[in-house]
A and B are shown apart, each in its own frame.
Chain A
Amino acid sequence: MAEDVLLRLDRVSKVYKVGAFGGRELAAVSDVGFEVRRGEVVSLIGESGSGKSTLARMILRLTSVSGGTITFDGTDVSTLGRSYYRQVQGVFQDPFSSFNPIFPADRVLTMIRDQFFPRAAGWSERVAAALEDVRLDPGQVLGKYPHQLSGGQLQRLLIARALLLDIRLLVADEITSMLDASTRIDVLNLLADLKARGLGVLFVTHDLSLGTYVSDRTVVLRQGRVVESGPTTQIFERPEHPYTRNLLASVPRLGAKWADEAAPTGLPDGTPVVTADGTGNATGNVATHVTEEKA
């Protein structure tokens, strides 16, 4: 199994210096470790400010790492040159910010050609094939400006851009959070296609239901630390950590009205928690776990 590991994070941390003269330190990520294997979707789940996007940026080398190591295929990513981006690519949250508004959207594809394959023959065929893979009609997207395309089209164009590089790992940072519900599922299904091709996908999200839908394994992050990680089914059926349980309980169920639910309660640090469990078991469990933790 070990040779199947594409990406490994080992005690990775990120500390920001804040305040005047960088006097205070703010730990955004502390001692995070997990793996992404070939042909596997791993979701990184956490609330706002949990450090999940910082992790994604560190994996993509957009932000420096304060401590620990990130290895790809057994090599420290900081020692890899530009070739790293031929194997690992990212797609970001806001499709409209990912495109330079004053140029046609397909410039992201041309940029790949200019940077990596300046003398490639049959480029337009490759573009057509990549667009086909993400179910985009070349006639509908090529030569158009970003504001003329929908968010879903733009996100798929970015995935097509990554496919042009024959990547092995895709870091998808909240790629569906700005899409409406109907296009969201198309983009998610694309991730399943990538997985079937043997790619590793790191799916960063705050949405538990999306995480369950796509991923094989789940890493739950809170305040920069891994709270719980393991196979997705196990985490969702038998969550061990109180935070994960609260997180699961806070997902509104389809068909349930908020008025019917139990009264909201909170974690000791003030994080509001809504228990969706009609029996009130979740609340009880949280209370016991919190006391255990304190003891």
Chain B
Amino acid sequence: MTAVPTARREALHFALRNGKLLAGLVVVGVFLIAAVAGPLIIDYGPNDYVGPAASPPSGEFWFGTTTFGQDVLAQFVYGLRATFLVGILGGGLAAVIGMVVGFTAGYRGGLVDEVLNMITNIVLVLPALVVLLIINAYLGVRSIGLQALFIGLTSWPWAARAIRAQTFSLRSRDFVDLARLSGVRTAKIIRREIAPNMSSYLFMTFILLFGGSVLIAASLDFIGLGPTEGVSLGLMLNNSARWSALQLGMWWWFIPPGAGITAIVGALYVMNVGLDEVFNPKLREM
């Protein structure tokens, strides 16, 4: 008998041929390398006054300098770190909460589902940005980790709803009953029987939450509610706006962070579309 490709091998086969997925991966990968390696190569901090004030990109300072003579490239690579950190922590936390709530509500059903659904809907209709504004202003949240925490705690509802719906349809399958007849405990049934059937879905959920967290963090930073210590792409935009970089024609100050955020989030969304094609045979380009 010839070896029929398994689902996993088949997914890999299509993943390696999917242009959207590969292009997205390359873009995110390049920024990730810059975030990891950049600060190791540049031997001064992002807020150190190292060069001439307000000078355009040159051989010495590739991305130019700010009004105060800080290196924009140094700020950019350190800022990328903050962006990835917020994406991973915020998106990861939201994904975990969404999965716990979604799996529990979808599998248990009944009263548990009603209560969790109610909580989910309440958080869903809260204008997350406004809540974050209040929390940030009131508590004076001033570190990247805490910012990621609050973003994670407010952006999970749609993920929970989507996972709940998927779980609902999977739990009525006979293999779930068979696992119950084998004495497998509920948590293990969810982990070993239901979750693997929607692994692609969970992966895409995380990617979307990652992109969403990056955008929310950038918005908060831009309107001046970002972390007080450290640097992020949103804070760079905020600073450039505060010191009238646009009016002064200092394009090198705000273009890199703006383009960076756009490229990362855009690449993640393109990756998501590509993954959709990999996992869903109906969408594959033949």
Contact = CB atoms under 8 A, between A and B. Distances in A.
Contact of A111 (B6, B174, B184, B197): B184
Interface string A92-117: 11100111111100001001100110
Interface stretch (A6-14, A82-90, A228-236, A262-270): A82-90
A34 interface: no
B181 A90 contact: yes
Interface residues on A, range: 20 to 34
Interface in B5-47: 6-8
Given A92-B174, A145-B4, A100 B193 contact: yes
Interface in B176-197: 177-184, 193, 196-197
B182 A100 contact: no
A111 B179 contact: yes
B173 interface: yes
Given A62-B177, A97-B175, A145-B4, A102 B184 contact: no
Nearest to B184: A115
A99 B196 CA distance: 13
A31 to B, nearest CB: 25
A116 B182 CA distance: 8
A94 B176 CA distance: 13
A98 B180 CA distance: 12
A79 to B, nearest CB: 16
Given A145-B4, A145-B6, A148-B4, A98 B174 contact: yes
Interface centre among A100, A115, A116, by most chain B C-beta atoms within 10 angstroms, is A100
Nearest to A148: B4
A145 B178 CA distance: 17
Contacts of A62: 177, 180-181
Q: Is the interface of A mostly helix, strand, loop or mixed?
A: loop
A92 B178 contact: yes
A279 to B, nearest CB: 44
Contacts of A145: 4, 6
A85 B181 CA distance: 6
Contact of B175 (A60, A90, A93, A98): A98
Contacts of A100: 175, 193, 196-197
A98 B182 contact: no
Contacts of A148: 4
B183 A115 contact: yes
A98 B6 contact: no
Contacts of A101: 7, 197
Given A85-B182, A111-B179, A97 B197 contact: no
Given A102-B196, A102-B197, A148-B4, A97 B182 contact: no
Contacts of B184: 111, 115
B178 A108 contact: yes
Contacts of B6: 145
Contacts of B197: 100-102
Contacts of A112: 182
Contacts of A82: 183
A227 to B, nearest CB: 27
Contacts of A97: 173-175
B188 to A, nearest CB: 9
A105 to B, nearest CB: 11
27 contacts: A62-B177, A62-B180, A62-B181, A85-B183, A89-B181, A90-B177, A90-B181, A92-B177, A92-B178, A94-B174, A97-B174, A97-B175, A98-B175, A100-B196, A100-B197, A101-B7, A102-B8, A102-B196, A111-B182, A111-B184, A115-B183, A115-B184, A116-B183, A145-B4, A145-B6, A148-B4, A158-B178
Given A100-B193, A108-B182, 20 more contacts: A60-B181, A62-B177, A62-B180, A85-B181, A85-B183, A89-B181, A92-B174, A92-B177, A92-B178, A98-B175, A98-B178, A101-B197, A102-B7, A102-B8, A102-B196, A103-B196, A111-B179, A115-B184, A148-B4, A158-B178
Interface of A: 57, 60, 62, 82, 85, 89-90, 92-94, 97-103, 108, 111-112, 115-116, 145, 148, 158
